[in-house]
Amino acid sequence: MWYQTKASELLDIDYPILQGPFGGNLSSVDLVATVSNAGGLGGYGAYTLSPQEIVEVDKQIRAATDKPYNINLWVSDTDAINGTVSDEQFKKAQDLFKPYFDELGITLPAKPAPFQTRFENQVEVILDRKPPVFSFMFGAPSDDILEQCRRLGIKTIGAATTLDEALVLESVGVDLIIASGFEAGGHRPSFLTSAEASTTGTFVLLQLIKEKVKTPVIAAGGIANGRGVAAALTLGADAVQLGTAFLATDESNATKIHKEMFFQTLQNIPLYLEHLQGD
């Protein structure tokens, strides 16, 4: 049957259809549970949540479904590794901001002690709560984190916008790779090149990755109906991920105006924004 794929078997779902995890408070426990209970894989975007908030969301999802679900985080690409900053790096920052501190008569702060990054704190919750699936974007977690996920039975999904990114994800041993084409809404999850340089369309990117990668591939970007799902699977995708289509549902946390816009002609005009205020 069409729905029996490597991805559906690996994720233990009835249909190889994933609901994209939304940020900006657009994810909802209700949507995750509804998709998972229907045989797909619901996803919750938790990158803005504190560790305790992730715990509460996970508890609510588990109470609403006994099916597999996915929690998504952003791999930290700005925090210092292990919370450490070299003396040279700190001196450069001091020199940059010293004139402003002097102008205001404020003493420059001392170099901070090592600390855990937000991502590291969030991952601790993932490893403790053990959701069935842990997905991430903007790179890949450390080998240690991925190994712990394997030991705990947590399936991992990384996002790639280029073939090179897919090869990196395969080399670190993720369980599945998302081929995120330029048509995909939301943030571009590029991590080896700029978002502006990773503009390959979904179906072309899917074929490029499938030719070079053995890891199961999930097609994402511009897929919103059965025809799109069928096309992706025909081109070799092991599953598909839909985002915007699920935003229009009653269960999503999108506002009424937001949902209504999906059905207006304006929604046919794609926009790429280099910067976005807020979430």
Considering the domain architecture, whether residues 73 and 91 belong to the same structural domain is answered as: no
Domain range enclosing 90: 82-116
Distances (CA, A) of 37 to 146, 183, 238, 252: 27, 28, 20, 15
Strand-by-strand arrangement of the 17-19 sheet: 17-19, 239-242, 217-220, 176-180, 155-160, 133-137, 69-74, 42-45
Residue 19 belongs to domain with CATH number: 3.20.20.70
Contact between residue 235 and residue 204 where contact means Cβ atoms under 8 Å apart? no
Lowest-confidence region among 11-15, 27-31, 78-82, 148-152: 78-82
Average pLDDT of the segment spanning 254-276? 66
Q: Is the pLDDT of residue 28 over 80?
A: yes
The per-residue pLDDT for 195 is 73
Domain C-terminal end among 91, 116, 141 = 116
Considering the domain architecture, whether residues 191 and 87 belong to the same structural domain is answered as: no
Total of domains in the chain = 2
Which pTM was predicted? 0.81
The per-residue pLDDT for 86 is 79
- pLDDT tens, residue by residue, 53-109: 999 999 999 999 999 999 999 997 555 555 567 788 888 888 999 999 888 888 888
> Considering just the CA atoms, what is the radius of gyration of the chain in Å?
20
- pLDDT tens, residue by residue, 205-243: 999 999 999 999 999 998 989 999 999 999 999 999 998
